[in-house]
């Protein structure tokens, strides 16, 4: 061990061990450093095992339900994941550089590197906050809280809680029986193509303003007033570059669907072959602003079955409109001629999620959440290091804490290196 | 100690408490990691088939992880015992995954949704904010 400390303007009395922070129960600084290093490596090994439980969960569910991953990952924005990956890699570099600075008695460099690492950690957490808050806002959450307001393509979906901003539906969901009590219609009884004259679904949609009756044991609503909502929201379509922006009149109503709310009557076997009965739908009213629609508003819709022409089969409709390559389930709804893979990809993400898609987000939040907690802990550790570095406590004979914290920070980076492709980059 | 530390010059402390990483190694590792991140993002834009795309992403991730462990975490220059500790943890983790997947083929095909024939919501798109 080196005992020469005259250089580099160290202001402290470094004692016979070279640093006042070398504890008396160690032989020397090397002994203390090596003990700490073994300790941190054992801790990192434990961290790998800790996270491996979540990776097992991820792999097992992906093997059995890959289709959920290939749909649900579209809700995640690669942009945010990629920026966060770069931020963490850069912070790993500055953390490793901090160790180098400490080893070379470069106090100012050490402070700069620790500060940069901290700044990156906060940036990472800030981006995570943006991502999480968007998911909270759209109810794209874990377990039974998974009740998305929109599909990855941005289409409005029916929700159980019916509390999405700017929309209100006919659905009244009963959590006891896990079924919609009212508000679901069989899709075959509605005609979904408002561009076909004369065959539009005959629904009378009204918005009811109501108030709670005082003193009643069960919740009882008293109607205060109602107004008819006649405007129909525009057709679903894939945005074309040249197409003029369609003007929407608010409030307007549309039909919407989500298997978790209104049951998909198609059985799994039939669905994987693209055949079977139609899913059920509900009526959704869009208000066009983000103001929360309170409980005091309810939507009522009375729909009649469409007249005879709508009963035509999809094939007949398809040949009439001269469209080829119609996909079952798309044709009668909106005859879009799907050609390019990109268009197909976009269409796919407009559709409602598969059942149990919430599992993806249970796994997503468990993995990124646990990782995020590690980043947060790293923030505390590096803040502590920054204070100690500013006091000039780290020298080439005592830099263990910097080295150990950097090793911890690298393992946090390492786990994110796997989480990023596994969650964001699913093909 | 490696030749890298000699390459940098006079003041890399060969007699300090631990190996000091050179600027060259740190920067090279950092830049390679950022480059590989770009590659892995771009690779998803090309369709090689789901399995090959996954394999590419995983190979890149493992490469990146190896670089981090060897150079940022100094394991290449560190005591052999630390490598033994870390690699044992990785082996245990891969055993967990491997054993859990052993009976995969014993289950029925339970796909509940066909990505090639997805259901289409009878509704229009709205841009996602944020």
Here the tokens at position B49 are 């088939």
Q: 95-124 in B: which are within 8 Å (CB) of A? A: 96-97, 100-101, 104, 107, 110-115, 117-124
pLDDT band at A220, cuts 50/70/90? confident
Residue A12 has pLDDT above 50, yes or no: no
Helix (H) or strand (E) holding A171: none
Residue A341 covered by a domain: no
Residue A319 covered by a domain: no
Residue A389: exposed, middle, or buried by beta-carbon count in 10 A (0-12, 13-18, 19+)?
Answer: buried
How far apart CA A132 and CA A218 sit, in angstroms, is: 36
- Tell if the CB–CB gap between A52 and B123 is shorter than 8 Å: no
Domain that holds residue A162: 155-313
A7 C-beta neighbours (distance < 10 Å), count: 8
Q: Measured between CB atoms, does B128 come within 8 Å of chain A?
A: yes
Helices (H), A244-357: 268-272, 314-321, 341-350
Judge if A50 and A197 occupy the same domain: no
Judge if A76 and A170 occupy the same domain: no
Tally of structural domains, chain A:
2
pLDDT single digits (tens) B47-87: 888 889 999 999 999 999 999 999 999 999 999 999 999 99
Q: Tell me, what's the pLDDT at A14?
A: 46
Q: Tell me, what's the pLDDT at A170?
A: 87
Q: Tell me, what's the pLDDT at A167?
A: 86
Judge if A85 and A188 occupy the same domain: no
Judge if A62 and A102 occupy the same domain: yes
Instruction: Choose from A226-235, A395-404, B2-11 the range with maximum mean pLDDT.
Output: A395-404
Q: What is the mean pLDDT of residues A177-185?
A: 81
Domain end call among A278, A313, A348:
A313
For residues B60 and B39, the answer to whether their CB atoms sit within 8 Å is yes
Kindly provide the ipTM of the predicted complex, given to two decimals: 0.81
pLDDT single digits (tens) A189-199: 555 544 444 44
Contacts of A403 in chain B (CB under 8 A): 18
Q: Tell me, what's the pLDDT at A363?
A: 97
- Tokens 């103001």 belong to which residue? A291
- Tell if the CB–CB gap between B60 and A70 is shorter than 8 Å: no
**What is the residue-averaged pLDDT of chain A?**
79
pLDDT single digits (tens) A390-412: 999 999 999 999 999 999 999 99
pLDDT band at A244, cuts 50/70/90? low
Judge if A202 and A127 occupy the same domain: no
Here the tokens at position A415 are 């786990």
How far apart CA A249 and CA A226 sit, in angstroms, is: 19
Q: 48-77 in B: which are within 8 Å (CB) of A? A: 50, 53-54, 57-58, 60-61, 64-65, 68-69, 71-73
Judge if A299 and A160 occupy the same domain: yes
pLDDT single digits (tens) A114-147: 999 999 999 999 999 999 999 998 899 998 889 8
Least confident of A106-115, A212-221, A362-371: A212-221
Q: Tell me, what's the pLDDT at B67?
A: 97
Domain end call among A313, A336, A368:
A313
Judge if A135 and A161 occupy the same domain: no
Residue B58: exposed, middle, or buried by beta-carbon count in 10 A (0-12, 13-18, 19+)?
Answer: middle
Residue A15 covered by a domain: no
Q: Tell me, what's the pLDDT at B122?
A: 47
Judge if A99 and A172 occupy the same domain: no
Q: Tell me, what's the pLDDT at A419?
A: 97
pLDDT band at A337, cuts 50/70/90? very low
Judge if A168 and A291 occupy the same domain: yes
Q: Which of A155, A327, A159, A338 is nearest to A254 (CA)?
A: A155
Residue A132 covered by a domain: yes
Domain end call among A298, A313, A328:
A313
DSSP, collapsed to helix, strand or coil, labels residue A331 as coil
pLDDT band at A329, cuts 50/70/90? very low
- Tell if the CB–CB gap between B68 and A333 is shorter than 8 Å: no
Q: 6-45 in B: which are within 8 Å (CB) of A? A: 11, 13, 15-18, 20-21, 23, 26-27, 29-30, 33-34, 37, 40-41, 44
Judge if A121 and A42 occupy the same domain: yes
- Tell if the CB–CB gap between A327 and B120 is shorter than 8 Å: yes
Q: Tell me, what's the pLDDT at A5?
A: 43
CA angle centred on A368, ends A65 and A62, rounded to 5°? 10
| Ramachandran sector of residue A179 (left: φ over 0; alpha: ψ -120 to 50; beta: rest) | beta
How far apart CA A101 and CA A93 sit, in angstroms, is: 12
Helix (H) or strand (E) holding A181: strand A179-182
Instruction: Choose from A265-279, A281-295, A330-344 the range with maximum mean pLDDT.
Output: A281-295
Contacts of A85 in chain B (CB under 8 A): 37
Q: Which of A85, A104, A407 shows the shortest C-beta gap to B37?
A: A85
Judge if A221 and A161 occupy the same domain: yes
CATH classification at residue A131: 1.20.120.80
Looking at the DSSP assignment, which residues form a beta bridge with residue A226? A208
DSSP type of residue A236: P
Residue A97 has pLDDT above 90, yes or no: yes
CA distance B8 to chain A (A): 13
Contacts of A239 in chain B (CB under 8 A): 125
pLDDT single digits (tens) B83-112: 999 999 999 999 999 999 888 877 766 556
Judge if A301 and A206 occupy the same domain: yes
């Amino acid at each position: 061990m080196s005992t020469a400390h005259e250089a580099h303007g160290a202001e402290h009395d470094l004692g016979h061990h070279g640093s006042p922070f070398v504890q008396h129960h160690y032989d020397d600084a090397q002994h203390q450093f090596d003990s700490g290093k073994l300790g941190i490596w054992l801790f990192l090994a434990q961290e790998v095992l800790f996270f491996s439980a979540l990776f097992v969960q991820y792999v097992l569910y992906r093997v059995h339900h890959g289709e959920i991953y290939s749909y649900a990952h579209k809700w995640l924005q690669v942009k945010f994941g990629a920026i966060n990956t770069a931020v963490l890699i850069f912070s790993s570099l500055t953390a490793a550089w901090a160790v180098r600075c400490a080893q070379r008695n470069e106090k100012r460099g050490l402070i700069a590197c620790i500060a940069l690492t901290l700044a990156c950690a906060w940036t990472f957490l800030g981006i995570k906050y943006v991502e999480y808050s968007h998911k909270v806002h759209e109810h794209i959450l874990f377990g039974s809280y998974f009740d998305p307001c929109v599909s990855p393509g941005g289409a409005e979906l029916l929700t159980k809680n019916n509390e999405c901003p700017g929309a209100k539906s006919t659905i009244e969901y009963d959590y006891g029986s896990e079924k919609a009590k009212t508000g679901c219609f069989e899709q075959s009884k509605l005609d979904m193509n408002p561009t076909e004259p004369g065959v539009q679904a005959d629904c009378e949609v009204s918005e009811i303003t109501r108030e709670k009756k005082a003193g009643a044991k069960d919740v009882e609503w008293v109607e205060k007033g109602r107004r008819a909502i006649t405007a129909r929201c525009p057709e679903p379509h894939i945005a074309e570059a040249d197409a003029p922006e369609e003007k929407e009149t608010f409030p307007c109503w549309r039909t919407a669907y989500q298997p978790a709310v209104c049951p998909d009557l198609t059985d799994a076997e039939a669905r994987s072959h693209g055949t079977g009965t139609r899913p059920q739908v509900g009526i959704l009213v869009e208000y066009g602003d983000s103001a929360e629609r309170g409980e005091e508003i309810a939507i009522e819709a009375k729909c009649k079955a469409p007249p005879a022409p709508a009963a035509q089969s999809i094939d007949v409709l398809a040949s009439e409109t001269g469209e080829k390559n119609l996909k079952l389930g798309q044709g009668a709804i909106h005859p879009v001629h799907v050609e390019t893979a990109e268009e197909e990809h976009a269409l796919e993400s407009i559709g409602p999620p598969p059942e149990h898609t919430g599992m993806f987000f249970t796994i997503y939040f468990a993995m990124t959440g646990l990782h995020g907690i590690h980043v947060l802990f790293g923030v505390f550790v590096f803040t502590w290091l920054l204070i100690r570095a500013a006091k000039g406590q780290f020298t080439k004979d005592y830099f263990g804490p910097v080295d150990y914290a950097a090793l911890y920070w690298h393992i946090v980076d390492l786990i994110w290196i796997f989480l990023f492709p596994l969650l964001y980059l699913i093909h | 100690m490696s030749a890298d530390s000699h390459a940098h010059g006079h003041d890399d402390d060969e007699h300090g408490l631990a190996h000091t990483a050179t600027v060259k190694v740190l920067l090279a590792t950092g830049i390679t990691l950022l480059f590989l991140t770009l590659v892995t993002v771009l690779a998803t834009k090309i369709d090689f088939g789901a399995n090959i795309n996954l394999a590419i992403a995983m190979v890149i991730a493992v490469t990146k992880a190896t670089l981090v462990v060897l150079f940022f975490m100094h394991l290449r220059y560190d005591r052999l015992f630390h490598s033994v500790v870390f690699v044992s943890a990785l082996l245990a983790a891969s055993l967990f995954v491997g054993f859990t997947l052993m009976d995969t083929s014993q289950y029925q095909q339970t796909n509940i949704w066909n990505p090639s024939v997805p259901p289409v919501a009878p509704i229009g798109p709205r841009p996602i904010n944020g």
